[in-house]
Amino acid sequence: MKLPLLLLLALLNLVLFDKINCVPISDDTEDVQIIGNIRDDEVKTSFSQISDENESDTRLKRTVTSLQKNGNGNNDPINGISQHRKSMAFKMQQDSEEKQLIREKALDLPDRCNTSYDAIALIDDEVIGFRGRFMFSSKMQLYEIRSRWRQLSPRMTHVDAVYQTIDNKTLFFIGQSVYSFIGNKLEKTIKLSDLGIDPSVLKIDAIFRRPDNQRTYIFIGDLYHRFDEHRFTVTGYSNEISKAFREVYDMDTAFTSKDNVTYFLKNEYVYDFIDKSWMLLRIDPFLSGNTFMDCNLTNPQIEFGNRYLNSDVDHIGNIDDHEKFYEPNCDNPEIDLCKNERAERFDAPNSVGNRHLSIGIYVLMCLNIFISIFN
């Protein structure tokens, strides 16, 4: 009885063990496969992330290495990145400054009807004004100077003086440099010292030619120099401006027109220069825009820099009738009309001496004749 019962229990235990072992094995296998799949995806994702991070690290290392080669970084990657960001910020700041400079240049455009002049010149029978980097005339609007004379320095910000010689060479005086053009083509570039001007001179103020004596003058500070256009040098003669050009002081520039009239300019005003007396008329100047640029502006009544006393101005009355402005000053070394008078004044003492000598000789001769007769 006991034996069959034990066999029955053993058989039942075997059946139950198989069921228990079969189901879990199958489930475990599926679970392992699912878990295995999940792990494979996670591993692939992780490797992809690691690969991306390695590529990023590689790019970072290349950037830092490049910065180190260029002297913009050091062995510290973080500092290298910081320097790279600073470099990018500096470049952006430079771009912004360049745009700002362009805007400022655009706002700095001169008004040709109402502006002061850095220089003014008669070039090919056309009066051309120069202000900053621009030029203008009654026939043209604003143009950059280098659009016509392209071989001028690109760093040029303004010109000090411009002059066309009698053989049609156009001279640009910029600081201590002199550019000589034939037409629009650069002939040569020289220094002021090559013209015989003292090397310590940094710039000239004006250059123009006087038609009455056919001399060209260069103004430097309070002095003027004679300029020989044929020898292309100053003659070595210089004098105070006030000695020859009466009432000429504190001017911006000057030039002589094709009508052989010399004009001096200050700010936006132009002043007449009286040829006969070589004297500047500082009363009632004209607007340069109206005079040279065919503008139509109201001319204010001013007496800029007038040195005369009010009583003197009242005494003048009608300026055209006052001899002070038109009589030549023969102490002026540049007025050729006074050469004869200066020569007479220079020779006067000698002439008196010669007359005295002649009288003395005549008296001696008479005495000699008288003595010979009585002997």
pLDDT of residue 312: 41
Q: Say whether pLDDT at 352 is over 50.
A: no
Domain boundaries, the chain: 31-107, 119-334, 338-375
Is residue 186 pLDDT above 90, yes or no? yes
Most confident of 76-80, 138-142, 170-174, 348-352: 170-174
The per-residue pLDDT for range 187-211, each reduced to its tens digit, is: 999 999 999 999 999 999 999 999 8
**pTM for the model:** 0.59
In DSSP notation, 69-111 reads HTTS--S-HHHHHHHHHHHHHHHHHHHHHHHHHHHHHHHT---
Average confidence (pLDDT) over 246-275: 91
User: Across residues 55-60, what is the average pLDDT?
Assistant: 56
Q: Is the pLDDT of residue 60 over 80?
A: no
- Helices 2-69 and 77-107 meet at what angle, rounded to 10? 50
The yes-or-no verdict on residue 13 having pLDDT over 50 is yes
Tell me what pLDDT residue 153 has: 94
CATH T-level fold of 119-334: Hemopexin (2.110.10)
Q: Greater confidence, 307 or 194?
A: 194
Is residue 251 within 8 Å of residue 264, measured between CB atoms? yes
